[in-house]
């Protein structure tokens, strides 16, 4: 769970920093949001690849754990 929170906070920080730099260069309104979203997405893809892999593994483990619990409860119910 910590990896999911860290990745999300890092993505938001990169977006905010990108938006701040673009605002300093004069971008405003919808253009600012659109450019910040596009640029921060590319930067995050490059810089946060290791964190994204950790987050993906954590989410996969969580889903598998929930699935096992669900299947166990189904077999318990049938018995």
Whole-number pLDDT of residue 16: 97
Task: Tell me how far apart the alpha carbons of residues 65 and 9 are, in angstroms, rounded to a whole number.
Answer: 25
pLDDT in tens, 68-79: 888 888 777 666
**pLDDT of 3-56, one tens digit each?**
899 999 999 999 999 999 999 999 999 999 999 999 999 999 999 999 999 999
Residues 6+ apart with CB under 8 A from 59: 4
CB 15 within 8 A of CB 70: no
All structural domains of the chain with their residue ranges: 2-78
**Residue 77: its H or E element:** helix 49-78
Please give the Cα distance from 51 to 7 (Å, whole number). Answer: 6
């Amino acid at each position: 769970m910590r990896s999911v929170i860290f990745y999300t906070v890092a993505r938001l920080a990169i977006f905010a920093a990108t938006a701040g730099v673009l605002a300093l260069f004069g971008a405003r309104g919808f253009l600012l949001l659109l450019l910040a979203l596009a640029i921060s997405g590319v930067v995050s893809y490059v810089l946060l690849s290791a964190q994204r892999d950790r987050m993906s593994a954590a989410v996969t483990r969580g889903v598998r754990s929930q699935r096992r619990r669900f299947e166990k409860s189904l077999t318990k119910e049938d018995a």
